[in-house]
């Protein structure tokens, strides 16, 4: 929003004031305006059609086919979907992915608290804090995963070393089926916190100070102000972040791929069944075992999942999101 | 009284924020310290904190991986994708924001629909295209799909819509055509938007794992993300070297972000509060 204001200010300075009393001339219609428009749109339009729109339809088609070992595929009707419905591995991956999505939402209240703290008037060092919180957001996920793999190491990891100070013997976090999923959720929340804080901070800064002053005159304390003023006015940002968070978690891949190992290493990790995600399973089937028809059916199921969840969120938003 | 209470609250705020910031930063500090230790010292219980200044861990990264090549690959891919998106997206965004033509709403809706589809739905056919072209294991394969972006069009269109119409109408009165206005009026005004999109594309491209992992399996043609990911499978116990490698790979983007923080944050806040 700041950007737009800057742009508008720059624009105003450059526009000559209209001559007083003079009737504004209407701009002439361009000949072939539509032609220029199509020409300008063409590169992106063709690129999106070839690499994105057509592939979606193709993937849909592939989900009804079976791939031979030497390429080539044949139509098998609903076979992949029948196999999918009976596949315990797929079901487990769906459950894991849903858990990642739901538990990931716990990062939202945390981000709101930090954003509210950063929004306090006369606070010094806001940009420093913001930069520090943002480092994990800009760090390569592969690097993040490696660092946490090391921190979570059962024998020498910093997490367990710190726990041992309190006499607690920590588990092998990402190799233990009981803790792996939660350990990964914590990393997801940690890595996304800075992004969410920035969105919430922008939302908070858009709330006029007068609203708080009016609430204070009405005798509302900090908690009441937060509930009656901040939360309702921040609800569009909360909605935006929760939709993005769920869509992102449903597609989780990088962290699990690096932290739990890939290929053979993944197969030997006892916690793998508890953290394998839908996209991870898709990658495995499509590019490791080259079972592309089945892989296509898996991502079609993911698409349905994302559409359903987003639709639910949009439906629920009427109950709690306030657009000023 | 009231003043000291306000001071106390401010101290509490800083205390909480410092605690939060510490949780954000300590993993990276530990990464740095580990990267400069011998394996023996890194795996000591209880741990030593002081590093051994073992810089050879960094040299070893270059022996385990064609790190220089991969670094260059990553930079070339990021530069190509950014240049492509800035040009193509701004062209389309200008047309959608300012020109009138039949099918505008329909086409824009089609563009937006791409945003809602998870990338996993694109990759099998994209892989087939690259295989048919004979591009597998080349930088072209990593770059090509990333030259086009529905998100970029959406972001820049929003930005163009925020610019005052009087400007291009004035240029129109002076006889400028659509191309002139796009190039000489709109683009210069859109610099903050272009910068924000550019930073977002560089970041996404530099950190991308999924697609590079799929199309390029030859280490010489990999980007850093995929290269590092391959490293952890083989040498999963030499943590000091892994920490050195992951630090070297992620540092450039962290530095760029810190320098351009203001624009970057604006880009995020902009896309987060406008859509």
Inform me whether the pLDDT recorded for B22 exceeds 50.
Answer: yes
**Percent of chain B surpassing pLDDT 90:** 72
Q: Which residue reads 């890939």 in tokens?
A: A262
Residues B100, B103, B106, B111, CA torsion sign? negative
Q: How far is Cα B271 from Cα B158, in angstroms, rounded to an integer?
A: 9
Listed in sequence order, the DSSP H helices in chain B are 2-35, 39-42, 56-64, 67-98, 104-115, 120-133, 139-143, 150-161, 165-173, 178-180, 187-189, 191-207, 210-215, 224-234, 239-259, 261-274
Q: How far is Cα B241 from Cα B247, in angstroms, rounded to an integer?
A: 10
Q: CA of A183, closest CA in chain B: separation in Å?
A: 14
Strand partners, A17: none
Give yes or no: residues B205 and B85 share one domain.
yes
**Per-residue pLDDT tens over the stretch B225-246:** 999 998 876 656 789 999 999 9
Give yes or no: residues B6 and B107 share one domain.
no
**Per-residue pLDDT tens over the stretch A185-238:** 999 999 999 999 999 999 999 899 899 889 989 988 888 998 889 999 999 999
DSSP letter for A75, please: E
pLDDT score at B272? 54
Question: Are the beta carbons of B209 and A303 separated by less than 8 Å?
Answer: no
Q: How far is Cα B272 from Cα B270, in angstroms, rounded to an integer?
A: 5
Give yes or no: residues B93 and B36 share one domain.
no
Q: CA of B186, closest CA in chain A: separation in Å?
A: 10
Give yes or no: residues B224 and B208 share one domain.
yes
Question: Are the beta carbons of A156 and B47 separated by less than 8 Å?
Answer: yes
Give yes or no: residues B20 and B151 share one domain.
no
Picking from A17, A30, A47 by the largest number of B CB atoms within 10 A of its own CB, the best residue to mutate is A47
Q: What is the three-class DSSP state of A63?
A: coil
Among the partner-chain residues B88, B118, B192, the one whose CB lies closest to the CB of A43 is B88
Give yes or no: residues B82 and B52 share one domain.
no
Task: State mean pLDDT over A18-34.
Answer: 62
Residues A230, A233, A235, A241, CA torsion sign? negative
Q: Which residue has the higher pLDDT, B233 or B197?
A: B197
Q: Report residue A19's pLDDT band, with 50, 70 and 90 as the boundaries.
A: very low
> What's the structural domain count of chain A?
1
Determine which helix (DSSP H) or strand (DSSP E) holds A298, and give its type and residue range. helix A292-320
Question: Are the beta carbons of B254 and A139 separated by less than 8 Å?
Answer: yes
Q: Which residue has the higher pLDDT, A297 or B2?
A: A297
- Residue A32 included in any domain: no
Determine which helix (DSSP H) or strand (DSSP E) holds A273, and give its type and residue range. helix A272-275
Q: What is the mean pLDDT of chain B?
A: 91
| Residue span of the structural domain in which B31 resides | 2-56
Inform me whether the pLDDT recorded for B18 exceeds 80.
Answer: yes
Give yes or no: residues B47 and B172 share one domain.
no
Give yes or no: residues B52 and B177 share one domain.
no
Give yes or no: residues B48 and B154 share one domain.
no
Residues B132, B137, B139, B143, CA torsion sign? positive
Look at phi and psi of residue A304 and say left if phi exceeds 0, alpha if psi is from -120 to 50, else beta. alpha
Which tokens go with A81?
A: 């979907």
Inform me whether the pLDDT recorded for B32 exceeds 70.
Answer: yes
Picking from B10, B15, B16, B17 by the largest number of A CB atoms within 10 A of its own CB, the best residue to mutate is B17
Question: Are the beta carbons of B122 and A251 separated by less than 8 Å?
Answer: no
Distances (CA, A) of A82 to A79, A91, A93, A161, A298: 5, 13, 17, 48, 11
**Per-residue pLDDT tens over the stretch B36-59:** 999 999 988 888 889 999 999 999
Q: What is the three-class DSSP state of B94?
A: helix
**Percent of chain A surpassing pLDDT 90:** 70
Question: Are the beta carbons of A158 and B126 separated by less than 8 Å?
Answer: no
Determine which helix (DSSP H) or strand (DSSP E) holds A46, and give its type and residue range. helix A33-48
Give yes or no: residues B81 and B50 share one domain.
no
The Cα diameter of chain B in Å comes to 76
B contacts of A37 (beta carbons < 8 Å): 95, 99-101, 104, 178
Give yes or no: residues B52 and B174 share one domain.
no
Inform me whether the pLDDT recorded for B26 exceeds 80.
Answer: yes
- Residue A299 included in any domain: yes
Comparing alpha-carbon positions, the chain B residue that sits nearest to A29 is B172
Q: Report residue A17's pLDDT band, with 50, 70 and 90 as the boundaries.
A: very low
The interface pTM score, or ipTM, of the predicted complex is 0.92
Question: Which one of B38, B56, B74 terminates a domain?
Answer: B56
Task: State mean pLDDT over B204-221.
Answer: 95
Strand partners, B207: none
Task: State mean pLDDT over A260-268.
Answer: 73
Inform me whether the pLDDT recorded for A323 exceeds 90.
Answer: no
Q: How far is Cα A146 from Cα B222, in angstroms, rounded to an integer?
A: 18
- Residue A234 included in any domain: yes
> What's the structural domain count of chain B?
2
Decide the pairing of beta strands A73-75 and A65-67: antiparallel
State phi, psi for A154 to the nearest 5 degrees.
-65, -35
Nearest to A172 by CA among A189, A188, A191, A149: A149
Look at phi and psi of residue A222 and say left if phi exceeds 0, alpha if psi is from -120 to 50, else beta. alpha
Comparing alpha-carbon positions, the chain A residue that sits nearest to B98 is A37
Inform me whether the pLDDT recorded for A178 exceeds 70.
Answer: yes
| Residue span of the structural domain in which A263 resides | 86-320
């Amino acid at each position: 929003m700041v950007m737009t204001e800057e742009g508008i200010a720059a624009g105003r300075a450059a526009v000559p004031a209209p001559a007083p009393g003079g009737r504004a001339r209407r701009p002439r219609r361009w000949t072939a305006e539509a032609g220029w428009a199509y020409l300008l749109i063409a590169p992106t339009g063709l690129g999106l059609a070839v690499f994105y729109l057509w592939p979606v339809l193709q993937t849909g088609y592939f989900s009804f086919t079976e791939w031979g070992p030497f390429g080539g595929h044949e139509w098998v009707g609903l076979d992949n979907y029948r196999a999918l419905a009976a596949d315990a591995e797929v079901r487990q991956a769906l459950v894991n992915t849903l858990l990642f999505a739901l538990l990931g939402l716990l990062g939202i209240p945390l981000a709101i608290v930090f954003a509210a703290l950063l929004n306090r008037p006369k606070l010094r060092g806001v940009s420093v804090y913001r930069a520090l919180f943002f480092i994990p957001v800009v760090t390569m996920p592969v690097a993040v995963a490696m660092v946490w793999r090391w921190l979570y190491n059962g024998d020498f990891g910093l997490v367990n070393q710190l726990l041992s100070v309190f006499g607690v013997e920590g588990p092998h976090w990402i190799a233990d089926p009981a803790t792996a999923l939660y350990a990964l959720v914590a990393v997801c929340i940690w890595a996304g916190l800075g992004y969410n804080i920035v969105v919430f901070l922008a939302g908070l800064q858009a709330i006029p100070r007068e609203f708080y002053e009016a609430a204070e005159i009405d005798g509302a304390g900090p908690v009441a102000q937060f509930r009656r003023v901040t939360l309702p006015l921040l609800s569009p940002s909360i909605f935006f972040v929760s939709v993005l968070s769920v869509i992102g978690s449903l597609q989780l891949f990088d962290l699990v791929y690096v932290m739990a190992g890939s290929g053979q290493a993944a197969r030997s990790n006892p916690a793998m069944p508890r953290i394998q995600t839908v996209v991870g399973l898709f990658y495995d089937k499509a590019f490791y075992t080259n079972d592309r028809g089945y892989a296509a059916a898996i991502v079609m199921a993911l698409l349905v999942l994302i559409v359903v969840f987003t639709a639910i969120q949009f439906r629920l938003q009427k109950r709690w999101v306030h657009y000023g | 009284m009231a003043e000291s209470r306000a001071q106390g609250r401010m101290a509490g705020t800083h205390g909480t924020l410092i605690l939060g910031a510490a949780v954000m930063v300590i993993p990276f500090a530990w990464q740095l310290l580990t990267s400069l230790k011998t394996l023996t010292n890194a795996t000591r219980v209880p741990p030593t904190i002081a590093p051994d200044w073992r810089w050879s861990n960094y040299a070893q990264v270059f022996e385990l991986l064609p790190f220089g090549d991969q670094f260059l690959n990553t930079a070339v891919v990021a530069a190509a994708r950014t240049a492509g998106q800035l040009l193509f997206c701004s062209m389309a965004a200008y047309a959608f924001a300012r020109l009138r033509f039949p099918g505008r709403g329909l086409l824009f809706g089609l563009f937006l629909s791409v945003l809602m589809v998870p990338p996993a739905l694109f990759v099998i056919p994209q892989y087939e295209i690259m295989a048919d072209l004979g591009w597998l294991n080349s930088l072209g394969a990593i770059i090509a799909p990333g030259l086009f972006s529905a998100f970029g069009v959406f972001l820049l269109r929003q930005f163009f819509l925020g610019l005052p119409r009087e400007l291009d109408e004035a240029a129109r009165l002076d006889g400028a055509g659509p191309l002139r206005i796009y190039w000489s009026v709109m683009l210069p005004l859109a610099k903050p938007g272009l910068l924000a999109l550019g930073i977002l594309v560089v970041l996404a491209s530099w950190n991308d794992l999924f697609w590079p992992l799929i199309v390029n399996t030859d280490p010489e043609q990999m980007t850093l993300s995929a290269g590092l990911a391959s490293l952890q499978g083989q040498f999963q116990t030499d943590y000091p070297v892994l920490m050195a490698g992951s630090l070297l790979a992620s540092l450039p983007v962290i530095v760029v972000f810190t320098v351009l923080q203001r624009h970057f944050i604006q880009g995020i806040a902009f896309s987060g509060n406008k859509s």
